Structure 1
Amino acid sequence: MTTIANTPVYAREDSAAPGVIGLAERGLVPDALLRAGIRRQCAARLAHERAGGEAATAERFQALIESLRHSDVAIHTDAANGQHYELPPAFFELCLGSRLKYSSCYYPRAGMTLNDAEEAMLALYGERAELVDGQSILELGCGWGSLTLWMAQRYPRARITAVSNSASQRRHIEARCAALSIRNVQVITADVNTLALPESDYDRCVSIEMFEHMRNYATLLGRIGGWLKPGGKLFVHIFTHRTLMYPFETDGDGDWMARHFFTGGLMPAADTLLWFQDDLHIEGRWLLDGTHYQRTANHWLARQDANQAAVMGVLAEAYGDAARLWFQRWRMFWMACAELFGYAGGTEWGVAHYRFVRPAKR
Structure 2
Amino acid sequence: MADAAGRLTKLAEEVLGAPLPVRIRAWDHSESGPPGAPTLVIRNRRALRRLLFKPGELGLARAWVAGDLDIEGDLYQALDLLAELVWERGTGSARPGRIAALRSAARTAARPEIRAAARQLLSLAGPPLPPAPPAEENRRRRGPLHTLRRDKEAISHHYDVGNDFYELVLGPSMVYSCAYWESPGATLEDAQRDKLDLVCRKLGLKEGMRLLDVGCGWGSMVLHAAREYGVRAVGITLSQEQAAYARKRVAEAGLADRIEIRVQDYREVHDGPFDAISSIGMAEHVGRERYAEYAADLYALLKPGGRLLNHQIARRPLEDEDAYHVDQFIDRYVFPDGELAPVGRTVGQLEDAGFEVRDVEAIREHYALTLRRWVANLEDNWTRAVRLTSPGRARVWRLYMAASALSFERNRIGVNQVLAVRTPGSGESGMPLRARAWQG
Aligning the two structures, in what range does the TM-score lie when normalised by the shorter sequence?
A: 0.7 to 0.9
Higher radius of gyration, 1 or 2: 2
Contact 1:279–1:358 at 8 Å: present in 2 too? no
1:18 to 50, 59, 73: 50
The alpha carbon displacement at 1:230 in A equals 1.6
Given that 1:107 and 1:120 are in contact with CA atoms closer than 8 Å, whether structure 2 keeps it comes out as yes
Partner amino acid, structure 2, of 1:29: I
Residues 88 and 94 of structure 2 are in contact (CA less than 8 Å); yes or no, is this contact kept in structure 1? no
Secondary structure at the aligned position of 2:268 is classed as coil
CA 1:293–1:43: 2 relative to 1, 3 Å: farther
Give, in angstroms, the shift of residue 222 of structure 1: 1.4
Deviations 1:290-314 (A, max 9, x none): 2211111110010011112221221
Instruction: Assess, with a 3 A threshold, how the Cα gap between structure 1 residues 353 and 218 changes in structure 2: closer, same or farther.
Output: same
Say yes or no: does 1:350 pair with 2:375.
no
Query: After superposition, where does 1:255-270 map in structure 2 within 5 Å?
Result: 255-270=328-343
Rounded Cα–Cα distance in structure 2 between residues aligned with 1:137 and 1:289: 24
Shift of 1:361: 4.1
Alignment correspondent of 1:5: none
Q: Residue 152 of structure 1: which of 220, 226, 232 is its match? A: 226
Query: Residues 74-125 of structure 1, C-alpha deviation per residue, up to 9 Å, x if partnerless?
Result: 7841343233211111111001132111011112323112112111211211
Determine if contact 1:237/1:354 at 8 Å carries over to the other structure.
yes
Letter matched to residue 178 of structure 1:
A
- Report the AA paired with residue 70 of structure 2: L
**In 1: Cα distance, 2:177 partner to 2:353 partner:** 27
Can you list the C-alpha shifts for 1:289-339, whole angstroms capped at 9, x where unaligned?
422111111100100111122212211xxxxxxx11211111101112111
1:116-155 → structure 2 map (5 Å cutoff): 116-155=190-229
Q: Could you state the TM-score of these two structures normalised by the residue count of structure 2?
A: 0.65
Q: Corresponding residue for 2:11? A: none
Q: Which has the higher contact order (CA 8 A, sep 6+)?
A: 1
Deviation, 1:239, is 1.2
In the alignment, the residues of structure 2 paired with residue 353 and residue 40 of structure 1 have an alpha-carbon distance, to the nearest angstrom, of 33
Quote the residue 1:34 is aligned against.
79
For 1:211, the equivalent position in structure 2 comes to 283
* Aligned CA distance change for structure 1 residues 274 and 190 (closer, same or farther; 3 Å): same
What CA distance in whole angstroms lies between the structure 1 residues aligned with 2:163 and 2:419? Answer: 30
CA contact (8 A) 2:324 2:340 kept: yes
Aligned amino acid, residue 164 of structure 1: T
Quickly say closer, same or farther: Cα 1:324–1:155, change in 2 above 3 A.
Answer: same
Query: Distance in 2 between the 1:227 and 1:110 partners?
Result: 37
The structure 1 residue matched to 2:308, chosen from 207, 231, 234, is 234
Aligned residue pairs: how many?
312
Residue aligned with 1:18, SS:
helix
State the superposition RMSD in angstroms. 2.7
Paired residues of 1:139 and 1:160 also in contact (CA < 8 A): yes
Work out the CA distance in 1 between the residues paired with 2:90 and 2:330.
13
Q: Tell me how far apart the structure 1 counterparts of residues 165 and 259 of structure 2 sit (CA, whole Å).
A: 24
Q: Which of 242, 253, 258 matches 1:180?
A: 253
- The percent of aligned pairs where both chains have the same amino acid is 24
User: Is the deviation greater in 35-44 or in 124-133?
Assistant: 35-44
Q: Tell me which residue corresponds to 2:157.
A: 83
SS at match of 2:218: coil
- Distance in 2 of aligned mates of 1:39 and 1:262: 24
- Name the SS for the 1:284 alignment partner: strand
Q: What are the within-5 Å matches in structure 2 for residues 213-362 of structure 1?
A: 213-215=285-287, 216-244=290-318, 245-248=323-326, 255-276=328-349, 277-315=351-389, 323-343=390-410, 347-361=411-425
Q: Distance in 1 between matches of 2:261 and 2:184?
A: 36
Structure 2: where are the runs of 5+ without partners? 1-45, 52-59, 97-144, 427-440
CA–CA distance in structure 2, aligned partners of residues 41 and 75 of structure 1: 34
- Mapped pair 1:114 → 2:188: yes
Secondary structure of 1:266's match? coil
Shift, 1:29, TM fit: 2.6
CA deviations over 1:169-204 (Å, ceiling 9, x no partner): 111000001111112100111233x413124x2100
Match of 2:239 in 1: 166
- Preserved CA contact (<8 Å) 2:155 2:239: yes
Say if 1:38 and 1:101 are closer, same or farther in 2 by CA, change over 3 A: farther
Contact 1:73 1:219 in 2 (8 A): no
The code of the aligned residue for 2:420 comes to: F
Q: Which amino acid aligns with 1:266?
A: E
Query: 1:23, 1:29 within 8 Å by CA — same for their partners in 2?
Result: no
SS in 2 for 1:152: helix
- What stretches of structure 1 of length at least 5 have no aligned partner? 1-14, 52-70, 250-254, 316-322
Aligned to 1:11: none
TM-score when normalising by structure 1: 0.78
Cα distance change on mapping 1:173 and 1:42 into 2, 3 Å: farther
Q: CA deviation at 1:242?
A: 4.7
- The alpha-carbon distance between structure 1 residues 101 and 41, as it changes in their structure 2 partners (threshold 3 A), is farther
AA aligned opposite 1:18: R
